[in-house]
Every structure is written in structure tokens, then in C-alpha cells.
Amino acid sequence: MIIYIPFFSWIPRLFPSRLASTSTDPNTPPPPTKMEIIARWIQAFNMLWLPFCTAISALFYVLVLIDALVYVDERRTRFFQLPKNTKQIWKSRALMVTFIAISVGLGYGAFSVLEMTELARVKTFEYVAIVVPVQINIGMIFATVAQRKMEKTAAIKAARREQHVEEQGSLAAGVVDEKMPLMAGE
């Protein structure tokens, strides 16, 4: 996709037309060289093949994005198996969508500032086809990092609670053990 949109006409630049005309009549175009014929064939192939590959890649990207949003915290074992809708999964989805929205919003704002200062201008189609998927991926990465940190802190808190309960239990058992000899002496 990145090659297809901005650099679509790379073949004519790679193989420039003849520098000097061999024909004596200036009105008749010179016959094309073998390299020009090959360049035309490659360009015709690219005109068909690259949009097809771009469409397949975009479809696959959309499917992976939907899969990432539907199956947030688990792997599916069957193709049409839907996940359990728990509160934690909806929190993860909301976190992911929030970070994607922040990433796309900040990216759009950055491109707007660049365009206002006349440093860069991005066509709408190029922005939607190239930049938005990158921004979505960046948002998903940040959401994953934030989710891991939240899960790590929750696991540490749970381990501390469990350790605190064990300490309380051992202290209570220690008090009972200290009283046992005194009670046996009565």
C-alpha cells in the first residue's frame, strides 16, 4: 500500500524515454525500445496486481482488528465461538478503543498542524489508507502496554493480600500455640 499510492509511477522514471530521436521526421514518434515495452508490461501488471493485493491486505487488516476487539483476553478454539462477556473484557475493549481514538485524534491533530504551517500536506485517501491503520496499531500497542501494567499491579495487590492473610493466620496460630502450654498447666 505504501509503495502503491505515492510511488505508483516509478517505472517510467526508472526507464526514461529516448533521449535522442533517430527519426528524421519530428512528427513521427520513435518506435519504443525493448526496455520501454517491458516497462509498459510491468506497469500494466502493477495496475492490476497492486490494487488487488492492497484490497486483500485491507480486508485482512479489518478482520484482525475486529478479532482483536472481540476476543480481547482469550484465544478462541472454534471459528464461530464467541467470548464470554465479562466486566473485565468490556473494560479491556473500552481501554483499547480509547487508546485507538486518542492515537487517531493526536495523529490527525499533528497532520492538521503540519498542514496549517505548510510543512506537509497529506491527501485524504493517503491519510485514510496509510496513516490511519498505523495510528490504530499504535493505539492498540499503547492499550496492550497499559492493560499489562494494570494486570501486573492487580496481580501484585492480590499477592500482597494473600500474603497479608497468611501472616494474619500465622499470627493467630502463634497466639493459640503460646496459650496452649498455659492452658495445659491448669
pTM of the model: 0.57
Q: 63-81: string of b/e by CB count within 10 Å (b at 16+)? A: eebeeeeeebeeeeeeeee
Kindly report, residue by residue over 97-112, the tens digit of the pLDDT. 899 899 999 989 988 8
Kindly report, residue by residue over 15-45, the tens digit of the pLDDT. 555 444 455 667 888 888 888 888 888 888 8
* C-alpha–C-alpha distance, residues 67 and 23, integer Å: 62
